[in-house]
Structures are given as structure tokens and as C-alpha cells.
Structure 1
Amino acid sequence: MNNKIKERTILIIDDDTYILDLLTTVFEKEEFQHIKKASTGEEAYFQVKQNNPHIILLDVMLPDIDGFTLCSQIRSYTSVPILFLTAKTTDLDKLQGFSFGGDDYITKPFNPLEVVARVKAQLKRSMQSNLDPSLQPVYDYGHFKVDSNTGKLTVKDEQVECPLLELKLLLYFCKHPNQLLSKHQIYRDVWEEYYGGDNTVMVHVRRLREKIEDDPSKPQWIKTVRGLGYMFEVDKKEDSL
């Protein structure tokens, strides 16, 4: 697994050449073989389409576009993990990063070895999601279906891009139909070592609702149980695994 991780392509997007060179050097010392760099949003989007990276490190402050907007654009093309690198440290900034499709949030100044550790964890998790035999069935509910083999979400017969964490969250709901799930339980089981909490779960649930619900403000699938958590409501006869 470790050797396969090091064969993955990393894209680092930052307009600070010192950070680009520092992270490149650290990843090379960790024997990563494919490291791509970009210093503008335009260059970054080209790199994404040209090289199909397996993970992206994205600075929020770029000269031609803000990283949050760029993240949203990248999400229309790929669902690979995106880790924000930023000097913005407030909880609101972090929630904004998650809401635009980010998978993790690393504040500057940072320890380069911590960045490497988080990248390895993300890559390992994304690879295991494809290998885990417990994630084999296709969950088909008519209105939407999610294929845990390919990571594809289809809503009304149209494929919808779904970032890794949102996919993991949706599969978690699918594996626990008609069960009351507390935010703490969801956070513990889905996020594992991630930083955040109730607000992080709430943001990702909202993003999932925007993808699978006809009216996200009146959800039919992912229901809020006030003060307790969430329940993924499925008619047992519709739950075809």
C-alpha cells in the first residue's frame, strides 16, 4: 500500500514559490514520484485536466481567483481529495472551505511533515474505499443510486460529481438505513482523524441534500431529528442491495 501511495500524483497550488519548493522537497524526500505544481488558478485547472492528480493541495489566496471558487470549479471535473492551505484560521473560513468541497483544511504556518501525514492519510483512505469488500454493493433507491465500486452517484439518471467525504457520508447513511445517527457518531465513524465537529457534519449533510433531494429544505431522504442527529429514511422494499 505504501509504495502504491507514493506512485500517486500530487498537485500543489500556491502562488508562494517558497511553499511550492518546500513541499516539493519534502514530498520528494518521502519518495513521492509524481509532483505537479501551479501558481495560478488558470494553470491549476489546466494541470488538473492534463495530469488527473490523485490529491490536490490548494492555497486559498491566488492572484487570479480565490481558492474556494477554484475548488468548486475543480469539483465539476473530479472528486479527488482537496486539502486547503491557508492563513485564514477562523471556524467560518474552515466551514466555507468544507462547503465548497474541500476534504481537509491546513492553516499556515504549518509543519510540512504534518502536511505529508495528512496527504498520506487521505490517499490511503481513498484507495481503501476502492478495496474494502464491505463497500461492494450498488445502493439503488430509484430516485438516486450510488455505486461503491466506482464511487459514482447517479441522480435521476444523471451522474453527479461527489467528493470523497460526501461519498463516504452517503455510503455510511446507506449502510445504516432507518437508524438514528447522532452527529458525534457520524463524525467519529466517517471523519475519523479529521478536525471539526457538529458543524462539519452539518455542512456535508447539506451538500448531500443539494445533490440527492428534490427540495433540500424539505428532505425526503436525510431527515433531521431535532436535537438528536439524522436518519436516512428508506422504505425497506426500496432498499435493494
Structure 2
Amino acid sequence: MNKILIIDDDRELCALIKRSVQSENIEADFCNTGREGLQKLKEQEYQLVVLDVMMPGMDGFETLEEIRKENSLPILMFTSKNDSASKVRGLRAGADDYLTKPFDMDELIARIASLIRRYTRFNQQIGAVQKLDFDGLQIDLENRSVTTENGAFELPPKEFDLLLYCAKHQGKILTKQQIYEEVWGEEYFY
């Protein structure tokens, strides 16, 4: 069963989200500070984090940055601010999706289910067939090959790694720094 972690200082909202996702067979834990959330992530495995931006002490952006240092699970952020600057900042820092409060609970649940589905698709168990299918393109992770309607071929190692990284983060805005540090495994210098 999938399990999510809700990090928000609004206890009533956390309890409401927990009840709502449980009706969809998704377990949920919640905590009310960024530090508590980081501790829970060390203690248990989750498939997604729901993270509020506005929290006392360590805010959502700081918590997001700490999570991204060690974890690649999907993060859905929400805030009561309706400005695009906060959304852009969160997405650039590594958030996978964003909702503005107040939000529709059905939409939140649909976004959570979608992010979990995509995350588990790209993080299959070891030993499982590792192929990613896109419209007319198949990426074979085990053999490091690509198949299109024109046939199968192998890419140079960095090109394959770049394609794979972009495929795993489809629909997400990636910075040059993120791509360089992940694919080349070196610190980015502008």
C-alpha cells in the first residue's frame, strides 16, 4: 500500500487530507514542522510528500531543499499565496507539483495518485523489466538502448543518461544545474 507524508502546520487540514486519502487506500502520516517531517522521512519510506510553504521555523522551501539532498520522491507543495513567484521558486527547487489553497480535495487526491503512479512507474523493483515507453519511443534501462519506429540503437553513455534523466522528469522544468549535476555527477559551475 502506498503511504504519503503530509507536512503542514494546520493540524485540521492534515487530518482532513489523511482521512480523504485513506478512502482511496493510501496511508498517510502527518507532522506540523519541517524538522519533524525530515525526521519521519529518515525513519519510514513514503511514496510522496505533501508540503506546505508557510510554516513557522523551517518553511516549506527550506524543507524541500533538505529533502532533495537525499530523496527523489515526488513532492506536492501548496500555499495560500496566489503568486507565480512562489510556484516558480518551489518548482525550480525540486517540487513536482503545486496547488494553491483553498483547493478542491478531489483535485488534490487525483494529483497525489498521479504523482505516486508516475513515481512507482520509474522506480520499479530490482529484477523487474526495466523499459520505459513513450509515444513511439522505448528506453531499455537494462541494455541501455533506445527503440523507435526506425529500429533499435545505442546512444553514447552521456546522451543515454541525459535522455533517461529527462524522461524520468517529464513535464517538469529542469535547470541546467540540475541536469549537469545529475547526469555528469559533478558540481555545476556557471
TM-score using structure 1 length: 0.60
Equivalent position of 1:25 in the other structure? 19
SS of the aligned residue for 2:170 comes to: helix
In 1, are the aligned partners of 2:35 and 2:63 still within 8 Å (CA)?
A: no
Equivalent position of 2:131 in the other structure? 133
In 2, the alpha carbon distance for the partners of 1:106 and 1:115 equals 8
Equivalent position of 1:94 in the other structure? 87
1:208 equivalent in alignment to 2:188: no
Which amino acid in the other structure matches residue 98 of structure 1? L
Which amino acid in the other structure matches residue 133 of structure 1? K
Q: How far 1:36 moved relative to its partner?
A: 0.8
Equivalent position of 2:151 in the other structure? none
Structure 1 runs not aligned, ≥5 long? 1-6, 147-166, 174-188, 192-199, 218-241
SS of the aligned residue for 1:76 comes to: helix
Residue 99 to residue 169, structure 1, CA distance change in 2 (3 Å): farther
In 2, are the aligned partners of 1:210 and 1:216 still within 8 Å (CA)?
A: no
Q: Deviations over 1:139-167 (max 9, x none)?
A: 58667984xxxxxxxxxxxxxxxxxxxx9
In 2, the alpha carbon distance for the partners of 1:85 and 1:38 equals 15
- 1:64-143 pair list within 5 angstroms: 64-129=57-122, 130=124, 133-134=131-132, 135-137=139-141
Which amino acid in the other structure matches residue 165 of structure 2? L
Q: Deviations over 1:186-239 (max 9, x none)?
A: xxx922xxxxxxxx63x444421344466553xxxxxxxxxxxxxxxxxxxxxx
In 1, are the aligned partners of 2:47 and 2:119 still within 8 Å (CA)?
A: no
Q: Deviations over 1:116-138 (max 9, x none)?
A: 00010011111222366234326
Q: Return the match for 1:172 from 163, 167, 172.
A: 167
Equivalent position of 1:60 in the other structure? 53
RMSD of aligned residue pairs (Cα, Å): 2.9
Corresponding pairs, count: 166
Structure 2 runs not aligned, ≥5 long? 133-138, 145-154
In 2, the alpha carbon distance for the partners of 1:44 and 1:133 equals 33
Q: How far 1:170 moved relative to its partner?
A: 2.3
In 2, the alpha carbon distance for the partners of 1:48 and 1:19 equals 20
TM-score using structure 2 length: 0.75
